[in-house]
Amino acid sequence: MCTAEALTALSENNNNNTRTLKTHLPKRAVPKHSIILLNYPSIICRGFLMYMTTGTRLTLPIELWQALLRYRYRVFVEKLGWHLDCAIGEELDQFDRDDTVYVIAHQGPRIVGVARLLPTHKPYLLGEVFPQVLGDQALPHSADIWEISRFAAVDLQQQTFTGHSMSSPNAVALLHEVLKVAARHEVRQLITVSPPGIARLLRKAGFDAHCGEKLTVIEGQKIMANWIRVPPSLVDREVA
């Protein structure tokens, strides 16, 4: 298994809602025009440019919005086998409101990662569908605590697929962008429902994360709440 440290550089383009991510890797043992994912064996992402676009369903380009729904269907329904009440070919639920915020990673027109952000003082997935994952803890209900849901960082053109992508450079880059978007909204903490072990992977990748105490099994899948702290320095920088 090959691993490599990814060094990333962000540069703004003319669209304030889009960032260009360049991923650079050491030359040793890395095939030309390829990057090797951290702790994610057997998958190679081709190409070096990744764009980050943020918006709502009202502000995203219609082609990108439709591509987002198709990507989510392929990942969560076709690949992961989730039983979701959605139309064939597009994954959409009651939390995809006009004010829901999305962060999309894409290489040209091809989506390679998505994340959905919902403030917890409005209806959100954990609070409405999975409140049991917090056990006796009170559900978050605050404008400065947001939920991440429908997070995926998978290049569907790759032949090998696994649902555990949190340690890949694409996932790490996407989550860094999520933190920046959260910081712009003066969010201090993020919460998500994830499989066990995700908090450990996030800490290994440099994020300030911890998991809840309760492990819940739903439809045979083990899940638990995970918390990610938004660095105060990031909030100060993004809000300034």
**Dihedral-angle region of residue 65 (phi above 0 means left; psi in -120 to 50 means alpha; beta otherwise):** alpha
Please check the confidence at residue 22 and state whether its pLDDT lies above 60: no
- Report the pLDDT averaged over residues 58-65: 94
Let me know: does 226 contact 200? Beta carbons within 8 Å: no
Going from N- to C-terminal start, the domains of the chain cover 7-239
Global model pTM greater than 0.85: no
Mean pLDDT of 195-202: 89
* Least confident interval from 21-30, 63-72, 96-105: 21-30
The sign of the dihedral angle between the CA atoms of 86, 176, 137, 236 is negative
d(C-alpha 170, C-alpha 152), whole Å: 9
Q: 85 φ, ψ to 5°?
A: -85, 90
Q: How far apart are CA 1 and CA 121, in angstroms?
A: 44
> Is the pLDDT confidence value at 47 over 50?
no
- Banded pLDDT at 34 (limits 50, 70, 90): very low
How much is the pLDDT for 155?
86
Report the topology of domain 7-239: Aminopeptidase (3.40.630)
- What's the pLDDT at 148? 97
The model's pLDDT over 114-136, given as tens digits with 9 standing for 90+, comes to 999 999 999 999 999 999 999 88
